[in-house]
């Protein structure tokens, strides 16, 4: 028996006639992201206005002498440029000294890159980039209800045994068959 994978746009739910119609969109930052970048699929036609709607943004860090950690601020470039009154911002930036990272900031940044163990009950099933390990698949298969409760409480998508991508990612073929779901 063969299997057929049906691909959909994560944005609209519309069926992709061909894999070449899909664009992989990596969301790097969003107020609702809790665990780093994620990727979604969208039909190319759904993204036509993205470039026209894109904003010119500036990300700055404010290092206050009375604070231990810097404050990161993202703002429109035009608004940031208006802060410069002595000379145009392009000139201010051209004449500025290169930023120096102090040892404390470098150490804190390195500590923030700690790897998440998706093979643990605490993190299994969360959307993440990269491959799904056998350990994560096993934890999801053995504790699906508990994991879905945690994901729902975190406001993250739950694992659906009727979703072909979830079934494939977490090896839920047996569960899908037991619940009468057939892909193919």
> What are the DSSP calls for 103-114, one per residue?
HHHHHHHHHTTP
Average pLDDT of the chain, as a whole number: 84
Distances (CA, A) of 65 to 62, 68, 70, 71, 111: 10, 8, 9, 12, 22
pLDDT value at 184 more than 60 = no
Most confident of 26-40, 109-123, 147-161: 147-161
Residue 2: its pLDDT value, please? Answer: 81
Report the C-alpha dihedral over residues 162, 167, 170, 175, rounded to 10 degrees: 70
Pairwise CA distance, residues 66 & 73, whole Å: 17
Indicate the pLDDT class of residue 113, thresholds 50, 70 and 90. low
Higher pLDDT, 12 or 29: 12
Report how far residue 97's alpha carbon sits from residue 80's, in angstroms, rounded to the nearest whole number: 18
Is residue 162 helix, strand or coil? coil
Q: Which residue has the tokens 């990596």?
A: 26
- Could you tell me the residue ranges of all domains in the chain? 1-51, 55-102, 117-184
At 55 the pLDDT is: 85
> Does position 88 have pLDDT exceeding 90, yes or no?
yes
Whose tokens are 């096993």? That residue is 138
* Average pLDDT rounded to a whole number, residues 18-32: 84
Q: Write out pLDDT tens, residues 54-83.
A: 888 888 888 888 888 888 888 899 999 999
Tell me the pLDDT tens digit for each residue of 42-51.
998 898 888 7
- Which pTM was predicted? 0.42
Residue 155, phi-psi category: left (phi > 0), alpha (psi -120 to 50), beta (remainder): left
pLDDT of residue 114: 63
The residues near 23 (Cβ < 8 Å, ≥ 6 apart) are: 41, 42, 43, 44, 47
* Whether the predicted pLDDT of 13 surpasses 50: yes
């Amino acid at each position: 028996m063969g299997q057929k994978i049906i691909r959909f746009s994560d944005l609209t739910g519309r069926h992709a006639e061909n894999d070449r119609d899909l664009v992989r969109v990596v969301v790097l930052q969003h107020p609702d992201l809790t665990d780093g970048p994620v990727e979604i699929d969208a039909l190319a036609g759904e993204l036509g206005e993205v470039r026209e709607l894109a904003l010119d943004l500036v990300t700055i860090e404010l290092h206050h002498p009375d604070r231990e950690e810097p404050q990161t601020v993202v703002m429109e470039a035009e608004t940031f440029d208006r802060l410069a009154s002595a000379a145009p911002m392009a000139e201010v930036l051209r004449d500025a000294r290169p930023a120096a990272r102090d040892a404390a900031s470098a150490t804190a940044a390195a500590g923030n890159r700690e790897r998440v163990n998706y093979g643990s009950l605490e993190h299994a099933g969360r959307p993440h980039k990269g491959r799904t390990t056998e350990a994560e698949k096993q934890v999801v298969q053995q504790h699906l209800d508990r994991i879905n409760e945690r994901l729902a409480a975190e406001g993250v998508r739950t694992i659906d045994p009727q979703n072909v991508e979830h079934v494939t990612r977490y090896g839920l073929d047996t569960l899908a068959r037991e619940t009468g779901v057939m892909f193919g």
